[in-house]
Chain A
């Protein structure tokens, strides 16, 4: 029996990032600008199916992660570590209180989203708000784009070897 065959693809030149991010909740009824902001690289591209079906329309997040004027890329990653800066101020919302309770030790945004059962994008909106209010601090991840150095890769290997 022979396996089915595939054909390798090459890298496609990077498309400019969609538009720069700003996080804001939005009621999906007015999703129009959310859609336009999320263009090329990550957006599910419309690919027609071989049998000539029209391409599927893009799914849309429940919360928009849209652009800001100054052009940076979304700062919050699934594994950005969030740490509380203080105890909940008087009158803090239940959401803020819950996050501050969870982040007495560093916790990733993904873990927060899991424990609070909030969609990741909603979590991002909430945390952005809390960073602005100086309730929490974010510790950025090391990504492939920020060029992980060899010593970091070696540290990960040593850590895995100890498992």
Chain B
């Protein structure tokens, strides 16, 4: 392990330290294709400068012409940006921006299983990149909302047309957003929380 001496390791600034009373954390996952705005969304609402956790894997699967006979493996790093929002002295919320390819999700134990729910961030110029993600969340029973990040040159569809195209049940919220704005990102998160709350009320969340 390549380890620096402890004096040189950066830690949270004093003002970024959690209080000792912090008892538990919850997490929400923001998932979507490359460049859809995940890191931007994390950064716009986080109380700390977004951080990155990485996982290194020995990659036997990414190469197209994968030679099963040879054991030549390459190391690949998959990164996730995350941020934090203190809810109360006792409770902390973490937001993780996660790449859309499901085959990387296993790298972080319980990434989705442990999450309260997920935000699927989509770009209408490339809607189909999120199809597989939504399917996977449905299979795993992870509740999610769909947030349409409005890029200026992206086609705009009425919400009901999107709902039909994405084959989403009527109760799944679809919300337009501009995740560069904190208020908009906050709205997306509140939409997810209200949805989770309604599921809890109807007993669907256990």
Contact = CB atoms under 8 A, between A and B. Distances in A.
Contacts of A155: 87-88, 91
A59 to B, nearest CB: 4
Interface string A107-149: 1101101111111111010000000000000011111110111
Q: Give the bracket for the number of chain A residues in contact with chain B.
A: 35 or more
A163 to B, nearest CB: 5
A33 interface: no
Interface SS majority for chain B: mixed
Given A6-B134, A120-B55, A78 B111 contact: yes
Nearest to B126: A4
Contacts of B87: 155-156, 158-160
Interface in A79-132: 79-81, 83, 94-95, 97-98, 101-102, 105-108, 110-111, 113-122, 124
B138 A8 contact: yes
Contacts of B58: 28, 31, 59-62
A68 interface: no
B6 A101 contact: yes
A44 B24 contact: no
Interface in B105-120: 105-111, 113-117
Interface of B: 1, 3-6, 9-12, 17-20, 22-27, 45, 51-62, 64, 66, 68, 73, 75-77, 82, 84-88, 91-94, 96, 102-111, 113-117, 124, 127-128, 131, 134-135, 138-143, 155, 157, 161-162, 164-169, 182, 186, 189-190, 193-194, 196-197, 200-201, 205-206
